[in-house]
């Protein structure tokens, strides 16, 4: 991990983050459909404040099939993201862009993780992004496969033994939460 911290400290790195389960609390068998339902995971805002100092770009990539299922609209999701970004900025953090896929899991959409569409869209919008100088932090096998397909460093954020087992060799690092990952980067930061 110290080697990764040293590489990140040299600049030009991008952090890709999943949203549900990483930044905010996942709602079991449901979706975050309104700003009132969006609850940050413990110390996630502090982690994003730390990442603000370390990364050139911070990008959120999130599957949001609740739209595809007709349970919420893109406009409702936009309001959730606006509140999230405002809260992150007020805490001293930053998010450069949020990309989402509204498509259902069974559609095999190019934009839905583990497909790489959201990553390619981010690189098109921010041409300085280099996937070999990027980290994908997520809480599922799907996130890890997305990162691997784009040749990123993978950080699995979970304490769930089933998710750790499902992800097999895909994660380069495993942390119980976002703040643990952020603090570990800072410890190794020169």
172 counts as catalytic: no
Structure tokens that stand for 174 in this block: 């495993």
Give which of 15, 14, 119, 26 is closest to 64, Cα–Cα. Answer: 26
Q: Are 52 and 94 in contact (CB under 8 A)?
A: yes
- CA 62 to CA 139: how far, in whole Å? 11
- Exposed / middle / buried, residue 100 (Cβ in 10 Å: 0-12, 13-18, 19+): buried
- C-beta of residue 18 within 8 angstroms of C-beta of residue 61: yes
Is residue 160 among the annotated active site residues? Answer: no
- Going by C-alpha positions, the residue among 178, 183, 154 that lies closest to residue 42 is 178
Residues 180/133/12/91 CA torsion (nearest 10 deg) = -30
Burial level of 26, CB count in 10 A (0-12/13-18/19+)? middle
Active site residues: 18, 20
């Amino acid at each position: 991990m110290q080697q990764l911290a040293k590489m990140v400290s040299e600049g030009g790195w991008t952090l890709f983050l999943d949203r549900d389960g990483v930044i905010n609390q996942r709602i079991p068998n449901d979706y975050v459909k309104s700003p009132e339902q969006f609850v940050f995971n413990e110390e996630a805002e502090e982690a994003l404040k730390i990442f603000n100092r370390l990364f050139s770009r911070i990008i959120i990539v999130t599957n949001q099939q609740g739209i595809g299922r007709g349970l919420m609209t893109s406009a409702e999701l936009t309001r959730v993201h606006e509140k999230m970004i405002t809260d992150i900025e007020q805490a001293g953090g930053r998010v450069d862009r949020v990309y989402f896929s509204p498509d259902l899991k069974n559609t095999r959409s190019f934009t839905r993780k583990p497909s790489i569409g959201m990553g390619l869209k981010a690189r098109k919008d921010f041409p300085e992004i280099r996937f070999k100088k990027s980290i994908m932090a997520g809480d599922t096998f799907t996130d890890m496969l997305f990162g691997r397909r784009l040749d990123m460093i993978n950080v699995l954020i979970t304490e769930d033994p089933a998710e750790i087992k499902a992800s097999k060799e895909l994660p380069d690092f495993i942390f119980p939460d976002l703040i643990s990952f952020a603090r570990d980067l800072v410890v190794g930061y020169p």
